[in-house]
Amino acid sequence: MIKVGIIGANGFLGLELLRILSIHPKVSLQKILKRENDIDDEFTHLSSLNLTELQTSNLGDFHNLDCVFLSLPHGSAEEYVKELIGKVKIIDLSSDFRISDAQSYEKYYKSSFDANLQNKFTYGFIESKIDDIKNSENVANPGCFALASQLAIYPFEGLINNISITAITGSSGGGKAPTSKNHHSVRSKDVFSYNVNQHRHLAEIFQSFPSLTDNLSFVPLSGPYTRGIYVTAHIQSIENIDLDELNELLKNKYSNMPFLRIQSQNKLSNVVGSNYCDISISVKDNQNFVVEACIDNLIKGASGNAVECMNLMFSEDQSLGLKEMLPLYL
C-alpha cells in the first residue's frame, strides 16, 4: 500500500483528493494536516471516513509516508516543501513549482523564484511527460486551464501557424472562499472574461509550446455552472489539412492514454465527475480547423491528474482508482 498524506484537505481540490483516494485500492490515507476547522465538522458528508483521527498539526508525522499531496493557495506550499523534500515523494497542486524559467515565473506570478526548489519538480503534463513523471520524486501538477488547453494543442503542435483559444470555467475554479467575482450567486446568471492574454496559466502553455509565444491568443471566461472547463481552439494550419489527417494525429498521440476520448461532438456533462478529457475536431477549410476539449476542472484538471501522477511514480497502472469514476452526466 502507498502511505499517503494530504496538506490542504479542506479546500475544493483537497476534498476531491479525499474522494478519489478513499476508493483507491493501493492507497492508505495516513495523515491530514489539521487546519483551523476539524474536517469532519466542516464537511459532514465525509463523517463515515473518520478523518478526525488522521489529523495532525505535526509536520514531522508526514516524514515517514510514501507520498504527500499539497493542495494549497499559491505561495503557501514552499514552507512545507522545504520540510518534506527528500523525505517523501511530493505532488504539489498549487502553482508554486510549475514554471522552470525565472523570468516567466516572475512575469505571471509576481513573486520570487527559488531555482533550487523549482529544478527538483517535474511538470505533471502526463500526456507529454509520462516517462519523466515515472522517474520523478516530485511533481508539480498543471493548472486546469493550462492542462485543458495543452491537451487540445499537443497533437497538432507542428501544424500551428496561429491559434486562438477561448476557455470557459465553472465557479469551483475560484476556490472555496467566495468573492464578489467568484460567488456562485453572481456567476450563475452571467458570463464574463478576465485576464485576457494575461492569465497566469499562459506561462505553462508557453513553457510546453515555446513556438506559440507570439501567435497564441487566450480568452478565459467565467461560466454559469459549478464544475468543468470547455476549451475551443481555432487553429490556422501552416499547411493544407483534412479531417482524416487530423484524426490520425489525434489517435496516434493519445492512443495509449486511458483518459483521452475522441468524440464526434463534445458535451461538458460527458466528463464532469470523471477524470476524462473529451476532444473533438471540426474542419472549416483546408487550412483552418477547430479543436474542442473539455474536462472536470477539479478532477482531470487537478486532483485526478495528481493521482494519475502518483500511480505512475509508484509504478502502478495509470488509471488505478480513477477509471471507476464515470461521468455524473446530470
- pLDDT greater than 70 at residue 178: no
* CATH superfamily of the 145-295 domain: Dihydrodipicolinate Reductase; domain 2 (3.30.360.10)
Q: What pTM, to 2 d.p., does this model score?
A: 0.95
Grid cell in block for residue 151? 491537451
Is there a common fold for 2-141+300-313 and 145-295? Answer: no
- Candidates 236, 310, 249, 263; CA nearest to 29 is 310
Residue among 67, 144, 277, 309 flagged as catalytic: 144
Which stretch of 54-58, 176-180, 230-234, 254-258 has the lowest confidence by average pLDDT? 176-180
- Please tell me the predicted confidence (pLDDT) of residue 201: 93
- Candidates 270, 329, 284, 303; CA nearest to 11 is 303
Distance CA(79)–CA(246), nearest Å, equals: 45
Q: CATH code for 2-141+300-313?
A: 3.40.50.720
- pLDDT greater than 90 at residue 61: yes
Provide the residue ranges of all domains of the chain, joining segments of one domain with +: 2-141+300-313, 145-295
In sequence order, what are the residues at sequence separation of 6 or more whose Cβ sits closer than 8 angstroms to the Cβ of residue 226? Answer: 170, 171, 172, 184
- pLDDT greater than 80 at residue 173: no
Q: What is the pLDDT of residues 187-219, one digit of tens each?
A: 788 999 998 998 999 999 999 999 999 999 999
Q: Is 309 a catalytic residue?
A: no
Give me the DSSP letters along 6-43.
EESTTSHHHHHHHHHHTT-TTEEEEEEE--SS-HHHH-
